[in-house]
Each structure stands twice: as structure tokens, then as C-alpha cells.
Amino acid sequence: MWNPSKKTRTIASKILFVIFSLTSVFHIFALLQIVPYKYLWGGRLGSVQEMYLMEIISLIANGFFVYCSYLYLRYLNLGLVPFWIRIVFGFISGIFFLNTIGNLVAVTNLETLLATPITAILSVISFTLVPKYENKTS
């Protein structure tokens, strides 16, 4: 079975930490209406109120993803990645896989062209953290 090395997992968790952090900043810009809501959520938002609700949910989710990426790296450095956090990254991978499909059918080209590759990459990188980690010290 495929078992990424500690170095691969370290790089993957650091990449996720950075991307989720930057995505959180993007969602803050959206909440501040620096990014117009018509470009968000596939162009399907009907009002500023809808945007606030969806962006707050997104910001909370991204904060959770940032925290999980940090925890994964911490556990990895201790030589033991618990089962529950691998399940979380399997869930995150699935969310971003579905999000990639949603981005492909977005109303706005910006969402399709910009968000699709990002969510596809997030899905693949998150999946890298799912297999059981075996600390091979010998």
C-alpha cells in the first residue's frame, strides 16, 4: 500500500497550512466586501446577507483546516499520527474533491479558472495525509 514518507507528509501539511491560511485571508476580504460577492460561491449568491452567512461558515471551516494542518505536523514530529486526524484529512480531501466538481460548473469564469485548480490540489494533498504513518527509525 502507498505510504508517503515523513518528508512528503511534512511538505504536504505545510503546504496545506499556508494555502488554508491564505484562503482564510481571502474569506476575510470577502467579508469586508473587498471581493464582490457576485464572484463568490460560483456566482450563485443572491444578497450580501447570504454572502455573510456563507463566508462566515467558510472562515470557520478554513480556521479548522489550518488548525488540523498544524496538529498533523505536530503529531508527525512526535512520530505518531492518530487515526482520527487521518479521518479528518480524508473528509477534507472529499470536501475539496466535491468542491472541485462544483467549481467546474460555476456560473463565473473566475471561480472556474481560479478555484478549480486550487481545490483539486487541496484534495490531492489532503489525501496524501490519510494513509497510516509508520515511523521507521531503523
What pTM was computed for the model?
0.86
- 37 lies in which domain range? 6-128
The verdict on residue 138 lying in a domain is: no
**CA 32 to mean position of chain CA atoms:** 21
The CA–CA distances, whole Å, from 53 to 26, 37, 58, 117, 130 equal 15, 12, 9, 25, 30
The verdict on residue 134 lying in a domain is: no
Number of domains in the chain: 1
Q: What is the mean pLDDT of residues 2-16?
A: 92
The dihedrals phi and psi of 24, each to the nearest 5 degrees, come to -65, -40
Which is nearest to 71 in space by CA: 56, 82, 59?
A: 82
Report the alpha-carbon distance of residue 116 to residue 130 in Å, rounded: 22
The verdict on residue 76 lying in a domain is: yes
Residues 95-129: pLDDT tens digits?
Answer: 999 999 988 887 777 778 888 999 999 999 999 99
The verdict on residue 82 lying in a domain is: yes
The verdict on residue 136 lying in a domain is: no
Residues 23-68: pLDDT tens digits?
Answer: 999 999 999 999 888 878 877 888 999 999 999 999 999 999 999 9
The verdict on residue 135 lying in a domain is: no
So what's the pLDDT on residue 9? 94
